[in-house]
Amino acid sequence: MGCLVEARGGAASSRVATEEQFLEQFAAIEDGLTVLQIQMRAIAESARRFGELAERIRASTHGAKVQTQ
């Protein structure tokens, strides 16, 4: 079974991929998405920690107690 391959510009290409090729590409996309999700979680955690550190620094330099969430 063949399927049309969509080019980056959105136009359908005349190149036809086999089902096996399609599934391999789909699996590669899923793997990439998994890695991206892991990296995004790590970035979010780093941002949270940085925010906490900035609050502590601000509180220690200004002598005021900063509320933490």
| Structure-model confidence comparison of residues 28 and 4, the more confident one | 28
Whether the model pTM is above 0.85: no
Q: pLDDT digit string (tens) for 13-52?
A: 557 789 999 999 999 999 999 999 999 999 999 999 999 9
Token digits for 68?
């933490």
- Listed in sequence order, the residues at least 6 apart from 16 whose beta carbon sits closer than 8 Å to its beta carbon are 2, 3, 4, 5
Is residue 17 within a helix (H) or strand (E), and if so which, with residue range?
A: strand 12-18
What is the reported pLDDT for 2? 57
Q: pLDDT digit string (tens) for 43-59?
A: 999 999 999 999 999 99
